[in-house]
Amino acid sequence: MIYAALVAVLLERMTAVACDLQLWADGAWFLVRIASTRSYYFWVADWKREFFRARIFTILAEQTPLVLATHLNIHSLHVLSLIVGITFYSHALISLYFCYRYAGQRWYMVFPLLSFFAGTMNVEAYLSTDSHFIVSLYWPVLFILLFREKLAGWTLLLLLGLSLPMVLSYESMMFFGVILAGVCAWRWKRSPQQRVLIAVLAGWYMLGVGLAVASVIWPFDPSNRSGFIQGLSALLHSSHLAAKVSLLVLLCCTGLFAVPSRMTGIQKLIAAVGLASVLYLCFAVLVGRSPSSLEVEVPARVLNLLLPLAATSLLMAVLAGWSKPNSQTIGTIAILVGALGFGQAFWNFGVIARWQGMLATLRYELLLHEGPVAFDNSIMSREQVGPLRLRELHAHWPLLPLSLYESGRGQVRSIIMPEPGTYFPFDPYAPANLPDLSRYGVHYDFYREVLKRNWQYVLGETLTFNQGGSAAQFLRGDWANAEDWATWSNGPDFGLDLPMLQPDLPDTVLLRAVVAPNLAPKFPDLSVQVLVNDVPVGSWSFQYSSDTITTRTVQISKATLTRANPAQVRFHIVGPIKSPAEIGKGPDARKLGLAFLKMSIIEAVK
């Protein structure tokens, strides 16, 4: 049963790689960035301050094959994508092979397999994280320390090679490191041999624990800590049926280990519940109810920590003699774990089908347009198209690199813009800064001509900021998503880039904006500084009033306006920014400052 499940998983992974599933989320940008620069991405800028929270070893493991491939005679982005996919998907299988080699008894493989099927496979759409890599290191290291009597030769080299990168693994090492150090302490007491080596290994793992604690206190990205804490709650409230079934199967396996072997009736009932949940999972995929999305809200590091810890606890209970399953119980658990592997493979085939549907929709949309395409004006902004919940399948910002990848060889016609305020890995309105993919047959001549012809602001034109309005293509910085009536700023710095192609501009122009500040009696004042091409040109002060919509103006000299093209109009909110929830205007927790309804630049009246 286990072997058959692994065959199904292997087929699923081969299909996922062939269908570019590895390009979901960060994967697409990693591919485009490394292919264009032919070097590593996300390296450490400040070694003294940031090394302890860096992803050095994960970067080396995940990106080295791709970096090497860019220096070979490879001229196809799809071939590079296959290399990325094989790299991302292979280390977990290699890890399982090492576990098989060093398992004290063959049936002990159910523990890393349970961790893999119930945890890792639920979050493999988001593969470019260190949490996947650390789990692949953890299990073979644990098995070697537990079951290998003497650490020597190739086994010692493998142990040291796997242990080296574990020292920098974010918060996961806070838990895995303590377990591995505890196993080292057990070995140190149990055998007088190699005590120095064991002590050094224990110290190394505890160093990893210390660095992990530091990375949590001072995270590389503040959202990491909050996402980790809120991840389990998000999982339980999400529609991720496979993850919930996996948790139920884990509970059933725990019950089988806990219930005495002589109570066969209870064990059969527990096994039946687990198998029924897996069958329901397969049924839901078969009739199209699930999967509905790639589940952006379930952080990979949550399941990649909790499930290995749970499986480790079961293994330790068996090794300590607290649980003594007989052959029948072991067989039942193996069937349950194998069934979960089948169910997860089937679920992921459903994911692949929906991912392919999203890519086909994106390719069709790219053919229909020319130049930059505002997200709100694209079919990709729809919540659902047929069975596809598009907005949950593309993760918004990766539409930029995916637009380049899906253009294939030849001229890029169009690029789908993500929502304002999301991450922009490159500026599609800056032709000189587009990733250089000419080596792979991707060129921007057509796109640049369209951009030059269509992307311009004409003096006197009124930009509208409502949903689908004309301002969307010019927005830069901290903007919230457009609403039916306006677009709010969502941070201290926001603005517009306006290409001014008219050679005969007047000596002085007037910027006029219809705006609405986020004010209340508890928060009655707001000050906004206006800058054009980094030159301060004025400031706006707002006081609370029942009439929230107001018109503000500022004069700009021709010399200031023409210092750069596009002209960079920027607004900076001076002082604190409060959310509507903080000032008693509703539950909205966004840090809203100033809502823009309309804006224009006109000739100033003398």
Is the distance from CB of 434 to CB of 428 less than 8 angstroms?
Answer: yes
Is the distance from CB of 179 to CB of 141 less than 8 angstroms?
Answer: no
pTM: 0.82
Residue bearing tokens 């499930």? 307
Report CA-CA distances (Å) from 128 to 29, 91, 525: 11, 12, 44
Give the model's pLDDT for residue 431: 81
Judge if the upstream peptide bond of residue 291 is cis by omega within 30 degrees of 0: yes
Give the model's pLDDT for residue 296: 46
**Nearest residue to 114 via CA among 351, 312, 319:** 312
DSSP string of 137-192, one letter each residue: HHHHHHHHHHH-SS--HHHHHHHHHHHGGGGS-TTHHHHHHHHHHHHHHHHHHH-S
574 — phi, psi (to 5°)? -90, 125
Residue bearing tokens 């109570």? 263
Give the model's pLDDT for residue 159: 95
Cα–Cα distance between 500 and 601 in angstroms, integer? 11
Cα–Cα distance between 320 and 602 in angstroms, integer? 80
β 487-498/550-557 pair status: unpaired
Give the model's pLDDT for residue 120: 86
With a CB cutoff of 8 Å and minimum separation 6, the contacts of 538 are: 529, 530, 554, 555
525 — phi, psi (to 5°)? -125, 145
**Nearest residue to 356 via CA among 12, 13, 16:** 16
Give the model's pLDDT for residue 297: 40
Is the distance from CB of 509 to CB of 606 less than 8 angstroms?
Answer: no
Give the model's pLDDT for residue 319: 93
Judge if the upstream peptide bond of residue 566 is cis by omega within 30 degrees of 0: yes
Burial class (CB in 10 A: 0-12, 13-18, 19+), 438: exposed
With a CB cutoff of 8 Å and minimum separation 6, the contacts of 142 are: 179, 180, 183, 312
Give the model's pLDDT for residue 294: 66
Parts of the chain with a pLDDT under 50: 296-298
Domains and CATH numbers, the chain: 2-239+294-310 (no CATH), 369-454 (no CATH), 462-603 (2.60.120.260)
How many residues are there in the chain?
Answer: 606
**Nearest residue to 72 via CA among 443, 439, 442, 436:** 439
Which tokens hold the place of 151? 């650490």
